[in-house]
Amino acid sequence: MALQFTLNGKTVEFSGEARTTLADCLRHHLGQTGTHVGCEHGVCGACTVIVDGEAVRSCLMLAVQAEGSHVTTVEGLSEGEDLSPLQAAFRKHHALQCGFCTPGILTTAHALLTHEPDADEERIRHVLSGNICRCTGYLPIIEAILDARAAYADGRRGKPA
Amino acid sequence: MKVLATAPSNETPAIGQAIGRVEDLRLLRGKGRYIDDISLPGQLHAAIFRSSLPHGVIRSLDTEAARKLPGVHAVITAAEIGRTVPTIPVRLFPLPEYQPFLQPVIAHHKVRYVGEPIAMVVAESPAIAEDALELIRADIDTLMPVVSLDDSRRDQSLLVETSGSNKGHYFDISKGDVDAAFAAAAYTRRERMYVHRHTGVTMELRGSLAEWDADRGHMTVWGASKVPFANRRILAGMLELREESVDMIEGDAGGSYGVKGEFFPEDFLVPFAARLLRRPVKWSEDRREHLLAISHARDIEAELEIACSNDGRVLGIRGEIWANIGAYMRTSVVITPRNSGQFISGPYKVENVGIHVAMQLSNKSPCGTYRGPGRYEADFFRERLFHLAAKDLGIDMVEFRRRNLVPESEMPYPMPSTAPQNNPTALDSGAYELVLDRCLSDAGWSEKLKLQGKLIDGRYHGVAATCFIEGGAAGPRESSRIVIERDGRASVYVGSSGVGQGAETILGQIAADALDVPYDQVQVFLGSTTYVKEGWGSYHSRSTVMGGSAILLTAEEIKQKLRAAAAMRFNCAPEEVEVSRGRLIASDGRSLAFADVSDQGITAEETFANHRHTYAYGTHVAHVAVDPGTGHVAVVDYVTVEDAGRIINPLTLHGQSIGAIVQGLGGTLLEHLVYDENGQMLSASFADYLMPLATDYPNIRSTAIGLRPSPFNPLGAKGAGEGGTIPVGGVIANAVANALSSLGVEPLELPLTPPRVWRMIQAAKRGPREG
Amino acid sequence: MKLSRLEYARPASVAEAIELLQGTEGAKIIAGGQSLMPVLAFRLAAPPLLVDIGRLEDLRGTEITPVGTRLGARVRWCEIERDAALRRAQPLLAAMTDHVAHYQVRNRGTVGGSLAHADPAAEMPGVAVACDAIMHVAGPAGIRDVKSEDFFEGPLQTVLAEDELLVGLTLPPWPPGRRWAFEEFALRRGDFALAGVAVHYGRDAEGRAHGVRVGAIGAGETPLRLHAVEAELEGRKIGEALISSAAKLAAASVDPMNDLHADAEYRRALVATLFERVMLRAEHRQEEGENGPAVHP
């Protein structure tokens, strides 16, 4: 099975078994290991990527289902060595420890704030309830996302000022 | 307390600054290197065939069809391992008596828990390896499963027939003359209590990648974590290699909490397969396997009795504790049972203790250490007993604790001793009552008390306060090596491991100050066996204290060498050279950068030895609201103050506290590794093992203060990171008891899930318990 | 946890999808995959062929007409969340489906997928049953309509034949002024409910309830209509005593299962508790306004 999709702005090709999940395709076929796999049954959210603008669990999608789509992973959130405003807010608030769940939380928050730049704390908590973090207790994550909202206001879509 | 990261300031010491973590720069961009991110050319993939039965005798194993599946390179069973199947040694406090209960690296003859490895398939891809697992047939005669502690104590069915008993071993915890204290006591009360099985559950799964260099006779293993040096020693022994012929490489670790990084069967099987097949072999655990086979924890029952004077002085605690340690005695097995007895007195002055702790085997997954091992359990037992005693004696719950806290004047205060293998330890320093008062004040205690037991909008409110100690800085030693690089920067190699706690940042701060250089002139490398000669790792909240103290020693040596090298250039005595902010300054004002003398090969390796533990301590206040209709316990407010001695990085310390508290709340209210009576594990998915979500516990206020440094190490730091978890079971249970005091509900068993709380309420409404 | 070997096909029409189902024994439909993929990951099922209807345009969209609200099988939870007109037209649907899973799952999970998966604790099957929905099932002979109560046969079992697929459902129109409420209790947000209860009814000028519907999820082998409770309330003025006696009847008329999270006794009591709570909320509905929970753009 061979197909193409757009990954972080570049066209990529996948050729492999139909049973390959999008998560495994990204990690093991395309070498983009920033997307993590924490449960493979759609609960933990570590594998969250953005497909055609919406945050989805890449373990609950076959790679072939992404054919022709635009996929954004954590590697696509910032340019070069610099942190995006969202990533910088995570560092400022110490919103990560082991960092394993972090890519999925960043992609989720990025999608959320892109659609809803004024999401309030309750909304952020509800959305984040689909991502398990075992280290931080979530408080600093919520604070970081609240802090990062400014970078999404006025259609800035999380770009540095 | 809110702590925000700052950029390091060169004007002040790095220690004490809330420096943003260096780890974050790669982890936030998806550039971490976790074990499953690493691949080698030509690697094969392993999958494990695990027992689906808890207890049985293997009659035969049919692997033919699996071997014939295209893409399968090997199926490894006990038969392939050799004449003797190695067993996994006990790493901490081993005894010869444990020998019959050690786990073979692959099941042969018997299986003893669901999830025990029976065979390993090595194939071209993980999917093909899993396809092959479905083709393996194991013919197993089932034996009566030993699941509960009652099953285990009954000894009807035995895990190891030749041992004659399921009691693996024991500890006697003692202090003073407990029977005399009880004989003379005005008040005693005995209760049976239970802390359920739950565990760390890291977000990153376990994994291993091994490469055998046949020409050099050298094994390299990626995926080491927590204790790479100990695991190297174990693996080298099993493979009959010299330790120097095995490298364990540590990458980024997606959490440990004590459970990940111990030596598991796969840590032998994967390198063994790599050597057998002469191809790199990679194994990545899946979540189901993780829940079945990671170190389980807790699962401890106690029948304990407390003796008090009429004015509420605790005179003694005695009784029995039974730990359901699972099917084998594995690397860190003794710590939890021992601590559950030894930490019974916690921060309180208890002069008489007598507890027999039995380590009972069962057909559940083997247990290890999990954040606050034994201390979480001991705190639940003790604080429940204190609650009941204070109530019986008519003494205010805070006053009861206040009267019994160890006063600063009595430090160091000895803890009970343990036998066999005494583990002498003493509370090092602390202003326990001061911190209690600070926490009560932060919590707004007197206002909260007005809600005690009240039914408001359909929910019963309850508050409770308990005090705790943590325990850190386990010896015996830790090593570090520092190299001044050509550009003058310092590379600092440490035997401690990074498990996601920010050790690179924290140890860098210690190194920067010790070398008297700006923080950005230091880079820290952790864990891998290639870095230092011997190392110990990250457990017992030891990385900062032990690794940091090793850095202090090494830095002193480095500075001497720098002075000597500079003195040659300046043509003066080394004592006349001063090290300041990365420069070497002669008494006449001439100065050199480190880089100017780095061609002299400035390097040093030192080891810090210490057996004296640190005791961070503090108070937790919980305010809960219980919905009697559903049994749901809402955490309305949760306030903590912890004194962790000298604080290296307030940012990471605060993070440890909050994270640990939420883990404790999960373990108290949600998480449960449930086995049915047939020994099947029912919680083997994330739909069934329920960890806290972002919506569960938003109301936590935690403060870490640096009030009393530890006198037992040159840094003055105390191990921290487990303290948030330790008191949670006890304080939440007490708060629930206070909420439901009008009904007379007294929780003696965890977890406090809605169905359990609801059932307690129903039972209380029906009237006093029979019998 | 890798899926078993399988083939994949993406038909261009419902008819082609049915042909594919007919052509391969054991073939399964996939759309959002949010219920199916975990089943495949645990290898609890190993269909030789997945027929992906995820790009069939005819299965999208909602249509609100005087005779009811038609939802295509591919309508996703996030679309219900954002559709203010739909939320007004079917407030119980909106309220119940707000409890479904989590953000990322809601971006792919579909109404049809949940109905076909038929988890007895899932909200959407509960909506269908509590609202007397009609399910539209496509098969080799064309479309047949199935009443929601007949659609669910047991846990993860429906009347769908191997060569059929659910293309949509129609909810009857929601009369203005209807009293309604839904509550569920789950151990964490987004988890399957330990139990949930929905009620809706009209009220005549004298304050008597009519057209009473009571549904329960997580309380039996399928989503349930509690007919006995409905009969108890029908034509009567709702008051504390009636709610209390009806709650006992609700508990008695469900048949919950034991699992590791809760036993049947707890779930049965929970149904009574939740029933009391939804009745009180329904009675006070007018003060809250009719629009239900907020819309997220």
> Residue B358 in contact with residue B164, Cβ under 8 Å?
no
* Domains of chain A: total: 2
pLDDT for res C290: 47
Type of residue at B601 = G
pLDDT for res B768: 66
| Separation in Å, CA of A139 to nearest CA in chain B | 7
Query: Is B685 in Cβ contact with C42 (below 8 Å)?
Result: yes
Alpha-carbon distance of A161 to A82, in angstroms, equals: 13
Alpha-carbon distance of B551 to B514, in angstroms, equals: 8
pLDDT for res C297: 47
Same domain, A112 and A144: yes
Taking one residue from A and the other from B, the number of pairs with CB-CB distance under 8 angstroms is 182
pLDDT tens, residue by residue, A93-127: 999 999 999 999 999 999 999 999 999 999 999 99
Report yes or no on A78 lying in a domain: no
Alpha-carbon distance of C202 to C179, in angstroms, equals: 6
At residue C289, does pLDDT exceed 60?
A: no
At residue C291, does pLDDT exceed 80?
A: no
Of C3, C189, C261, which has the smallest distance from its Cβ to B695's Cβ?
C189
Query: Is C50 in Cβ contact with A18 (below 8 Å)?
Result: yes
Both tokens of B411, joined, read: 């430090």
| Separation in Å, CA of C269 to nearest CA in chain B | 8
Q: List the CATH code of the domain at B23-32+474-609.
A: 3.30.365.10
Same domain, C46 and C70: no
Type of residue at B405 = L
Query: Is B287 in Cβ contact with C194 (below 8 Å)?
Result: no
Instruction: Tell the residue number behind the tokens 């989590």, with chain if given.
Output: C102
Closest residue on chain B to C272 (Cα)? B629
Report yes or no on A160 lying in a domain: no
| CATH assignment at residue C140 | 3.30.465.10
pLDDT tens, residue by residue, B592-601: 999 999 998 9
| Separation in Å, CA of B95 to nearest CA in chain C | 38
Report yes or no on C45 lying in a domain: yes
pLDDT tens, residue by residue, C5-16: 999 999 999 999
Q: Mean pLDDT throughout B248-272?
A: 96
Convert B704-731 to b/e letters by CB count within 10 Å (16 or more is b): bbbbbbbebbebbbbbbbbbbbbbbbbb
For residue A41, list chain C residues with Cβ-Cβ distance below 8 A: 1, 37-38, 41-42
Mutate to test the interface with B, among C6, C260, C263, C271 (most CBs of B within 10 A): C260
At residue B315, does pLDDT exceed 80?
A: yes
Q: What is the mean pLDDT of chain B?
A: 96
At residue B427, φ and ψ (nearest 5 deg) are: -60, 125
User: Which subunits sit against B, judged by 3+ Cβ pairs under 8 A?
Assistant: A, C
pLDDT for res B671: 98
> Residue B196 in contact with residue B302, Cβ under 8 Å?
no
| CATH assignment at residue A29 | 3.10.20.30
Highest CATH level, class, for B434-472+613-771: alpha beta
At residue B770, does pLDDT exceed 80?
A: no
Same domain, A62 and A23: yes
**Closest by Cα among C185, C5, C111, C286 to B135:** C5
At residue B732, does pLDDT exceed 90?
A: yes
Alpha-carbon distance of B510 to B547, in angstroms, equals: 9
Alpha-carbon distance of B699 to B396, in angstroms, equals: 26
pLDDT tens, residue by residue, B325-369: 999 999 999 999 999 999 999 999 999 999 999 999 999 999 999
Of B130, B630, B682, which has the smallest distance from its Cβ to C260's Cβ?
B682
Query: Is C1 in Cβ contact with B286 (below 8 Å)?
Result: yes
Convert B117-127 to b/e letters by CB count within 10 Å (16 or more is b): bbbbbbbebbb
pLDDT tens, residue by residue, C81-127: 999 999 999 999 999 999 999 999 999 999 999 999 999 999 999 99
Angle at B765 between CA B759 and CA B767, to 5 degrees: 110
Report yes or no on A36 lying in a domain: yes
At residue C295, does pLDDT exceed 60?
A: no
Alpha-carbon distance of B659 to B663, in angstroms, equals: 6
Query: Which domain, by its residues, includes C153?
Result: 60-171
On whether any CB of chain C is under 8 Å from the CB of A145, the answer is: no
Distances from the Cα of B66 to the Cα of B132, C1, C288, angstroms: 5, 17, 63
DSSP state of C57: G
Same domain, C69 and C41: no
Alpha-carbon distance of B388 to B515, in angstroms, equals: 53
Give the HSE-up count for residue B34: Cα atoms under 13 Å, Cβ half-sphere.
33
How much of chain B, in percent, has pLDDT values that exceed 70?
A: 99
Q: Mean pLDDT throughout B460-477?
A: 94
Distances from the Cα of A55 to the Cα of A127, A139, C111, C294, angstroms: 10, 21, 18, 21
> Helix-strand-coil percent breakdown of chain B, rounded to 5?
30, 25, 40
Report yes or no on A137 lying in a domain: yes
For residue B45, list chain A residues with Cβ-Cβ distance below 8 A: none
**Closest by Cα among B471, B479, B475, B506 to B647:** B506
Give the HSE-up count for residue A106: Cα atoms under 13 Å, Cβ half-sphere.
32
Report yes or no on C119 lying in a domain: yes
| Separation in Å, CA of C273 to nearest CA in chain B | 6
Type of residue at B530 = T
Same domain, A64 and A127: no
Q: Mean pLDDT throughout B217-221?
A: 98
At residue C287, does pLDDT exceed 80?
A: no
pLDDT for res A155: 86
Give the HSE-up count for residue A14: Cα atoms under 13 Å, Cβ half-sphere.
31
Q: Mean pLDDT throughout B406-420?
A: 97
Query: Is C108 in Cβ contact with A56 (below 8 Å)?
Result: yes
On whether any CB of chain C is under 8 Å from the CB of A69, the answer is: no
Mutate to test the interface with A, among B3, B6, B24, B294 (most CBs of A within 10 A): B24
Name the pairing type of β-strands B314-326 and B353-361.
parallel
Q: Mean pLDDT throughout B400-424?
A: 96
Give strand pairing partners of B308: B187, B314
Of B32, B499, B686, which has the smallest distance from its Cβ to A43's Cβ?
B686
Same domain, A36 and A62: yes
Closest residue on chain A to C1 (Cα)? A40
pLDDT for res C286: 62
Torsion of CA B551, B552, B558, B562, to 10 degrees: 140
Closest residue on chain A to C78 (Cα)? A54
| Separation in Å, CA of B640 to nearest CA in chain A | 14
pLDDT for res A159: 87
Query: Is B255 in Cβ contact with A97 (below 8 Å)?
Result: yes
Same domain, A62 and A123: no
pLDDT for res B769: 52
3-state secondary structure at position B272: helix
Query: Which domain, by its residues, includes A128?
Result: 85-155
> Residue B644 in contact with residue B718, Cβ under 8 Å?
yes
Report yes or no on C296 lying in a domain: no
At residue B686, does pLDDT exceed 90?
A: yes
Query: Is C5 in Cβ contact with A127 (below 8 Å)?
Result: no
At residue B771, does pLDDT exceed 80?
A: no
Same domain, C70 and C164: yes
Same domain, C187 and C280: yes
Of B131, B630, B672, which has the smallest distance from its Cβ to C5's Cβ?
B131
pLDDT for res B473: 87
Same domain, C207 and C151: no
CATH architecture of B36-143+201-293: Alpha-Beta Complex (3.90)
For residue C190, list chain A residues with Cβ-Cβ distance below 8 A: 129-130
Closest residue on chain C to B286 (Cα)? C1
Of C1, C3, C189, which has the smallest distance from its Cβ to B287's Cβ?
C1
* Domains of chain C: total: 3
Both tokens of B402, joined, read: 């206040």
Same domain, C128 and C193: no
Same domain, A65 and A96: no
pLDDT tens, residue by residue, C141-152: 999 999 999 999
Q: List the CATH code of the domain at B144-199+296-420.
A: 3.30.365.10
At residue C294, does pLDDT exceed 60?
A: no
On whether any CB of chain C is under 8 Å from the CB of A64, the answer is: yes
pLDDT tens, residue by residue, B534-583: 888 888 888 899 999 999 999 999 999 999 999 999 999 999 999 999 99
User: Which subunits sit against A, judged by 3+ Cβ pairs under 8 A?
Assistant: B, C
Give the HSE-up count for residue B370: Cα atoms under 13 Å, Cβ half-sphere.
22
Same domain, C64 and C165: yes
> Residue C52 in contact with residue C31, Cβ under 8 Å?
yes
Domain ranges of chain B: 23-32+474-609, 36-143+201-293, 144-199+296-420, 434-472+613-771
Same domain, C185 and C250: yes
| CATH assignment at residue A131 | 1.10.150.120
**Closest by Cα among B54, B51, B48 to B675:** B54
pLDDT for res C296: 54
